[in-house]
A and B are shown apart, each in its own frame.
Chain A
Amino acid sequence: MYLALFLVPWVLVYALSTIVMNHRHFFQEWYNHEPVEWTLEREIPYTATFSTDAKRWMVAEQILSDLNMEGSHGARGGLDNQITITRNNTVTPQRIIYNPKTQTLRIENQAFRTNAFLERMHRRRGYNQKYLTDDLWAITVDLFILATVLWVVSGLWMWWELKVTRKWGAVSIASGIALFTFFLFTI
């Protein structure tokens, strides 16, 4: 019970985000199939020089460090053109575009959409980033997974202890398993 109470926010986010993903088509039409907008926060000079063999991830980490924006991110592009870093903030993801030729950084914020936010939270994992907060988040995801298995086992045990519900409980389990198995072999 206490584990369930602790994990209430995770349960709600996973449930609501699943509804959003199950009705993605509706949300795409709601937004006229337009991608999420990015709005310019600021454009600043950035005079750092990188050696030509500097890796993209090194450049991205340095820029985020210089901007005090360290955290989960991804990067694409190269020094020969421009590097785009996406800082994966949960509520407002940010995009930093580094142009080595003009020596500028363009920092943009993603417009908030509830469905996009919920999908981000659903897909967020961790462990693949080097930041402690991401590892801690990943641990909570693992905890949630363990909790679901524990709730199945403990729920079955509690049901079995309630003799009065055994018959209809067995019917419920059997019908659920039958329907699930049917789906496995048909779609």
Chain B
Amino acid sequence: MTFNHINRRLHLYLALVLLPWFLMYGISAIPFTRNAYFNNLYKDGVPMWTTRIAQAYKRPAPKDRLPDTLQQFAKEVVNDLNLEVTGSLGAHQPNDKRINIYLVDFRHHIRITYNLAQKNIKVEDKRFRWDQFFTTLHARGGYQQDSFLNDLWAFVVDMISLSFIFWVASGIYMWWHLKQTRRWGIVALGSGFLSFVIFLVAL
């Protein structure tokens, strides 16, 4: 088995295994680029958020706004409310008066708003939207969640990224061995890099 053979097979099988992610990242980029269009599609009077719980609540605010502290605080709040973390958990403190906590899985988003000043808390469910289903898939990543499956997803995201770099390297290697396509290949590669540099300067 030659290096050429291994390179071609790895290029192919890696792409076939990662095909759902590859396709997902391509399709899910559309709602990001056509955000206004999709927002208009869902202007049908159905509210974006529906309140599930609204009640008095008191828990001392976290001592600082560091991500780890906020994450721990969010876990405690979610525990107090008997909510289940099915996907990822995140928290955001925009000011001293409010802390937002998000529970997100691919199909369902929950927002918890803790009003520190008024000592109350609200839990809301987000309506399902296909565009947001895809953008959630696209944006999911990171190793800061507790569950093994979340870490496994993040690992696959790393694999995808490294595969892209591998496909570039192995693709360029395969192209270079096709002598009849070298000239136009150089034109394509060169014009791509030139365009990219122009964008870097001009944007």
Contact = CB atoms under 8 A, between A and B. Distances in A.
A133 B105 CA distance: 36
B168 A12 contact: yes
B195 A187 contact: no
Given A1-B185, A8-B168, A180-B20, A18 B160 contact: yes
Interface stretch (B53-61, B117-125, B139-147): B139-147
Given A125-B32, A145-B30, A186-B149, A151 B22 contact: yes
B203 A137 contact: yes
Interface in B83-120: 86-88, 105-107
Given A18-B160, A19-B158, A22-B154, A72 B203 contact: yes
B167 interface: yes
B17 A176 contact: yes
Interface residues of B, number: 67
B22 A11 contact: no
Interface in A74-97: 88-91
Interface of chain B: mostly helix, strand, loop or mixed: helix
Contacts of B15: 155
A76 to B, nearest CB: 14
Nearest to A2: B188
A176 B19 contact: yes
B1 interface: no
Nearest to A125: B33
A152 B22 contact: yes
Contacts of A183: 106, 149, 152-153, 156
B33 A127 contact: yes
Contacts of A140: 195, 199
B161 A19 contact: yes
Main secondary structure of the interface of A (DSSP, over half): helix
B130 interface: no
Nearest to A121: B200
Interface in A94-128: 124-128
A22 B106 CA distance: 17
Nearest to B157: A22
Contact of A172 (B17, B87, B141, B167): B17
B203 A173 contact: no
B81 interface: no
A10 B181 CA distance: 21
B12 A176 contact: no
A65 interface: no
Contacts of A144: 29
A138 B33 contact: yes
Interface in B17-70: 17-27, 29-30, 32-33, 36, 66-67
Interface of A: 1-16, 18-19, 21-25, 28, 33, 71-72, 88-91, 124-128, 133-134, 136-138, 140-142, 144-145, 148-149, 151-152, 155-156, 159, 162, 165, 168-169, 172-173, 175-177, 179-180, 183-184, 186-187
Q: Which A-B residue pairs are the 9 nearest by beta carbons?
A: A148-B26, A15-B164, A180-B20, A9-B196, A172-B16, A6-B192, A5-B188, A176-B17, A2-B188
20 contacts: A5-B171, A8-B193, A15-B165, A16-B161, A18-B141, A18-B160, A22-B142, A133-B199, A136-B199, A140-B195, A141-B29, A141-B33, A144-B29, A145-B29, A152-B26, A155-B15, A155-B19, A176-B20, A183-B153, A187-B105
